[in-house]
Structure 1
Amino acid sequence: MSEADTMMWEARAADGRLDELLGWADTELVPWLQLRPDVTKYELFSAADRLVVIVRFDQGTTPLPDAPTVLLARPAHQWPFRRHGGGPPASSL
């Protein structure tokens, strides 16, 4: 089995702080990801009080930075995964 190449990062925003958490992601996390030569793709998703970030690396994974604790209801969770294929591009469905 090959090593993990994808990191999933999930944070629950403190009450009423999701917009600020998204702002932190836009101004701090995204630039950090863009400067890393080993990052091949990243996506950010939000729903209700959550922010989820999926990052694909060339090989291996690196933990993502911590968001400011004042913006979080609890510490963010991170899980490394190994990509296992994928479906056709959305445009071909």
Structure 2
Amino acid sequence: MTVALMWEARAAEGRGAELLAWARAQRLAAEPLRREFLRAPQDRVLVITWWDADYDTELPELPEPEGELVMRAVHRWRFESVDGTVE
């Protein structure tokens, strides 16, 4: 099974590039199958990691940034892959 972990944060105003650099510099205790970094308006940063694991497996996640780098708490979601057929 493939599990995707999503981590999304909104940087303090004008600090989106700094938040993206911070996220890219974070190392996890294990390497995911894939890691992708995305950005959006309002200085938002999204990191998606894909893992070969069961849905409820404990997996390493990016931490909360310290200090004044973000405007609010990080949002986190977990998804499992499903086949691409339409029913």
TM-score by length of 1: 0.72
Aligned with residue 39 of structure 2, among 28, 35, 46: 46
Identity %: 38
Give the conservation status (yes or no) of the 8 Å contact 2:35–2:49.
Answer: yes
Aligned pair count reads 80
In 1: Cα distance, 2:4 partner to 2:48 partner:
7
- 1:65: which partner in 2? 63
Is the strand fraction higher in 1 or 2? 2
Higher helix share: 1
Q: What is the CA distance between 1:20 and its match in structure 2?
A: 1.0
Segments of 5+ residues of structure 1 without an aligned counterpart are: 87-93
Structure 2, unmatched stretches of 5+, are none
